[in-house]
């Protein structure tokens, strides 16, 4: 078998963790598997490098990997983004070299490769590049020589030969992209958690680790605040049908398999194989980083709503849930949510619009979004109604609702976020298992 293993920042955060990582790699190799390893920067290193850039440039806004930022005079944004990618990509290079050295020190054969050496090709977007191709020649040669190939994640090379980075959590995408290019049997994401849970165990102690989850469910949970995997890595895995195994780097227990819908997990366990039909709800997610904007007394004429959301889109502000009230005397209200970090920019943009003399802009940061996710919703009626009943019994008022084929999301007062999660977890019996 050919495996790709990805180790996150905490898994290579100290020299002792790096030695443990090396021992695990050698155990995998001793079990007869060819192995490609992808590593993140040591925990905290990327933030440290960004802080250095901040202190040097004195930016008006913090540089953020995967997001726009404003820099001081003396260079264009793109110039600084290029140099930022040059800077932050060094973190993964350090980790890759140290892991390869640790494997060698323990008697194994290993070689470290950075983005351009392993053939990771990307587009021209600095700080948030997308993988376009992987040149497998060097990887195949090193594997054929019997080596464990340790790759610096999070980085690639654009058509002009510039180093690019793949955005926050980009090492996950690096690992999945390599697994897809090499036709690996599985991509293991090794981290400091045992797998994907039905909800955050810090909120609901009875949260249960799920053995198997579909790509679609994982994409929804990742987009709703679950931090186990970068959403783009799951999208990549779904597109290329890469089986992903999220498991702990601290033990050898089975974690959570992320696979196509209706595909049995890669295991001989009769307990895992006996029930292939997905539960109605797979998990509950809580997102505390949302804010609500309400525009009152907007003229109810064609183009008003397009003007509002067009202005926000041009400023790169992502709008999530939207509600428009029924018209009254030629006016209407529109309420929507945006990331809390974008609330001030949103208000600034809205104030530049000529919407109506009586229009008011109201904001509310004291909200959170609760979502239930499960592919089983496609074939089960009344899931939303049941969720609403559960929240009503808990005396939790619902401010907004959004639904899709496999998701129901509600906005509630932030004070009730944890209670809503526990209530829905209990109401759908997620602690009981499949």
Condensed to tens digits (0 to 9), the pLDDT of residues 5-45 reads: 999 999 999 999 999 999 999 999 999 999 999 999 999 99
Whether residue 269 is predicted with pLDDT greater than 50 in this model: the reply is: no
CA atoms of 212 and 188, how far apart (whole Å): 14
CA atoms of 292 and 426, how far apart (whole Å): 28
Whether residue 133 is predicted with pLDDT greater than 50 in this model: the reply is: yes
Whether residue 91 is predicted with pLDDT greater than 60 in this model: the reply is: yes
Whether residue 191 is predicted with pLDDT greater than 90 in this model: the reply is: no
Whether residue 271 is predicted with pLDDT greater than 80 in this model: the reply is: no
Domain annotation covers residue 172: yes
The helix or strand, by DSSP H or E, that contains position 272, with its residue range, turns out to be: helix 270-273
What band does 131 get if pLDDT is binned at 50, 70 and 90? Answer: very high
CA atoms of 228 and 191, how far apart (whole Å): 8
Query: Which positions ≥6 away from 297 have C-beta within 8 Å?
Result: 331, 333, 356, 358, 359, 360
Would you state the structure tokens that stand for residue 49, as one six-digit string?
């490098």
Q: Could you give the percent of the chain with pLDDT greater than 70?
A: 91
Whether residue 264 is predicted with pLDDT greater than 80 in this model: the reply is: no
Domain annotation covers residue 323: no
Assign residue 282 a region (left: φ > 0; alpha: ψ between -120 and 50; beta: otherwise). Answer: alpha
- pLDDT 10s digits, 316-341: 899 999 999 887 778 899 999 999 98
Whether residue 404 is predicted with pLDDT greater than 70 in this model: the reply is: yes
- For residues 263 and 370, the model is more confident at 370
At 309, give phi and psi (nearest 5°).
Answer: -80, -20
Residue 273: per-residue pLDDT: 40
Residue 60: per-residue pLDDT: 53
Whether residue 400 is predicted with pLDDT greater than 60 in this model: the reply is: yes
Query: Which positions ≥6 away from 195 have C-beta within 8 Å?
Result: 209, 210, 211, 228, 246, 247, 248, 254, 255, 256
How crowded is residue 20: how many other Cβ atoms within 10 Å of its Cβ?
Answer: 17
Radius of gyration of the chain (CA): 24
What average pLDDT does the structure give for the chain? 88
Residue 300: per-residue pLDDT: 86
Whether residue 270 is predicted with pLDDT greater than 50 in this model: the reply is: no
Give me the mean pLDDT over the 279-304 stretch: 91
Of the candidate ranges 113-127, 154-168, 267-281, the one whose mean pLDDT is the lowest: 267-281
Domain annotation covers residue 276: no
Whether residue 212 is predicted with pLDDT greater than 70 in this model: the reply is: yes
Per the structure, how many domains does the chain have?
1
Would you state the structure tokens that stand for residue 307, as one six-digit string?
């003007």
Residue 231: per-residue pLDDT: 87
Give me the mean pLDDT over the 361-366 stretch: 95
Whether residue 78 is predicted with pLDDT greater than 80 in this model: the reply is: no
Residue 315: per-residue pLDDT: 87
Whether residue 186 is predicted with pLDDT greater than 90 in this model: the reply is: yes
What band does 224 get if pLDDT is binned at 50, 70 and 90? Answer: confident
Residue 54: per-residue pLDDT: 80
Whether residue 265 is predicted with pLDDT greater than 60 in this model: the reply is: no
- For residues 342 and 70, the model is more confident at 342
Of the candidate ranges 103-117, 230-244, 407-421, the one whose mean pLDDT is the lowest: 230-244
Whether residue 376 is predicted with pLDDT greater than 90 in this model: the reply is: no
Whether residue 65 is predicted with pLDDT greater than 60 in this model: the reply is: no
Whether residue 274 is predicted with pLDDT greater than 70 in this model: the reply is: no
The helix or strand, by DSSP H or E, that contains position 20, with its residue range, turns out to be: helix 15-30
Give me the mean pLDDT over the 86-91 stretch: 95
Is the CB of residue 213 less than 8 Å from the CB of residue 229? no
Residue 336: per-residue pLDDT: 95
Domain annotation covers residue 406: no
By three-state DSSP, how is residue 122 classified? strand
Residue 262: per-residue pLDDT: 63
Whether residue 218 is predicted with pLDDT greater than 80 in this model: the reply is: yes
DSSP classification of residue 201: T
- Map tokens 């983004």 to a residue: 81
Domain annotation covers residue 27: yes
Say which CATH number the domain at 68 has.
3.40.1160.10
CA atoms of 182 and 5, how far apart (whole Å): 13
Domain hosting 139: range is: 2-192
Domain annotation covers residue 85: yes
């Amino acid at each position: 078998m050919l495996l790709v293993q990805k180790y996150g920042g905490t898994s290579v955060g100290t020299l002792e963790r790096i030695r443990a990582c090396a021992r695990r790699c050698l155990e995998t190799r001793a079990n007869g598997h060819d192995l490609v390893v992808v590593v993140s920067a040591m925990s905290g290193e990327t933030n440290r490098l960004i802080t250095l850039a901040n202190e040097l440039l004195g930016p008006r806004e913090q540089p953020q990997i995967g997001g726009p930022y404003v820099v001081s005079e003396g260079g264009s944004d793109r110039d600084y983004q290029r140099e930022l990618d040059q800077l932050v990509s060094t973190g993964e290079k350090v980790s890759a070299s140290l892991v390869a050295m640790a494997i060698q020190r323990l008697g194994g054969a290993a070689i470290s490769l950075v983005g351009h050496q392993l053939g990771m090709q990307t587009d021209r977007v600095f700080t948030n590049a997308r993988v376009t191709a992987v040149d497998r020649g060097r990887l195949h040669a090193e594997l054929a020589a019997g080596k464990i190939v340790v790759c610096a994640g999070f980085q690639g090379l654009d058509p002009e030969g510039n180093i690019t980075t793949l955005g926050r959590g980009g090492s996950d995408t690096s690992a999945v992209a390599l697994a897809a290019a090499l036709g690996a049997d599985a991509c293991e994401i090794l981290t400091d958690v045992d797998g994907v849970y039905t909800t955050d165990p810090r909120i609901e102690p009875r949260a249960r680790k799920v053995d198997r989850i579909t790509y679609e469910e994982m994409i929804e949970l990742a987009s709703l605040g679950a931090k186990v995997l970068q959403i783009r890595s799951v999208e990549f895995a779904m597109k290329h049908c890469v089986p992903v195994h999220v498991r702990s780097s601290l033990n050898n227990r089975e974690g959570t398999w992320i696979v196509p819908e209706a595909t049995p997990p890669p295991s001989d366990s009769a307990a895992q194989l006996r029930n292939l039909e997905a539960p109605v709800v797979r998990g509950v997610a809580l997102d505390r980083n949302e804010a609500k904007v309400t525009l009152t007394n907007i003229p109810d004429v064609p183009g008003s709503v397009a003007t509002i959301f067009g202005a926000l889109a041009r400023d790169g502000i992502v709008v999530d849930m939207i509600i428009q009230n029924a018209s009254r005397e030629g006016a209407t209200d529109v309420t929507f949510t945006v990331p809390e970090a974008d609330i001030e920019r949103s208000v600034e943009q809205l104030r530049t619009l000529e919407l109506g003399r009586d229009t008011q802009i109201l904001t509310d940061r004291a909200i959170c979004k609760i979502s239930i996710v499960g592919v089983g919703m496609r074939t089960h009626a009344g899931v939303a109604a049941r969720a609403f009943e559960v929240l009503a019994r808990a005396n939790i008022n619902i401010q907004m609702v959004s639904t899709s084929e496999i998701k129901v999301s509600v906005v509630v007062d932030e004070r009730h976020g944890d209670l809503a999660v526990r209530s829905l977890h209990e109401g759908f019996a997620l602690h009981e298992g499949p």
